[in-house]
Structure 1
Amino acid sequence: MVTVADVRALARTLPRSSEHLIRDQVRFRVGAIVYVAFSRDETTMGFAYPKEQRDGLIGAEPDLFFLPRASEQRFNWVCCHLNRLDHEHMTELVTEAWRMVVPRFLARQRLGS
């Protein structure tokens, strides 16, 4: 099971990433763009993810992933249950969400591709 502390530890290593408490919710962003956010009770995590790929992600693991509320479905965003997420998968999802919001050169410097 992944916790906010696990995500925080990873996010602190990502260039330009900052943590904010907004309306009692922990969010990580680059500049003004949020790439990871937690529910108030910290049981679910939303993260940046390409809209055109989210149906495949949810379809592959419907017990783990789900759509955000209807008002947020216009954004590149998907949600997951933290109690079903392992650390390796979290690392991949958070890093890719971060990659979506930083300049390409910075992502290449950090991740090499």
Structure 2
Amino acid sequence: MTTADDVRTIALALPDTAEKLAWGQPTFRVAGKIFAALGDDDTTMGVKCPVEDRAELIAAEPQKFFTRKGHDDTYAWLRVRLAALDDVDELTAILADSWRQAAPRKLQDAHPDLGRAVADGEGAA
């Protein structure tokens, strides 16, 4: 089972990442842009995910992935139940993919393999 502490450790190990409190929740930012946020009770997190990919991920693994109706409809975000993830490797892949979606091109180019497998469809989110 993965935890909020795992999210924090992995997220802060990614390049040019910082933690900042926003809306009363810990958020993780790359070059100032949010790529992940812990949920209110630290049992979930939100990550960047293209809107067109969300429904497929939720349908394939509804125990892991979800959105909040109304609030998430127009944002490129997906929510993840931390306890449902297989292990920290899956969490790492999800966070790295989200990081890649938020990171500036120059930073992505400096870390070409970070989040690549997930971005190419070989992993979740």
TM-score by length of 1: 0.88
Q: Which runs of 5+ in 2 are unaligned?
A: 117-125
Check conservation: 1:29, 1:35, Cα contact below 8 A. yes
How far residue 67 of structure 1 moved from its aligned partner, in angstroms, is 1.3
Structure 2 SS opposite 1:98: helix
Check conservation: 2:4, 2:43, Cα contact below 8 A. no
How far residue 45 of structure 1 moved from its aligned partner, in angstroms, is 0.8
TM-score by length of 2: 0.81
Structure 1 SS opposite 2:37: strand
The superposition leaves residues 62-110 of structure 1 with CA deviations (integer Å, 9 ceiling, x where unpaired) of: 1111013412321110001111112111111100000001122322322
Residue 104 of structure 2 aligns with which residue?
103
Structure 2 SS opposite 1:111: coil
Q: Which runs of 5+ in 1 are unaligned?
A: none
The superposition leaves residues 7-32 of structure 1 with CA deviations (integer Å, 9 ceiling, x where unpaired) of: 22212222221101223311101244
The superposition leaves residues 31-78 of structure 1 with CA deviations (integer Å, 9 ceiling, x where unpaired) of: 442111111210111100111111111111011110134123211100
Instruction: Measure the CA separation in 2 of the matches of 1:59 and 1:4.
Output: 24
Residue 9 of structure 1 aligns with which residue?
9
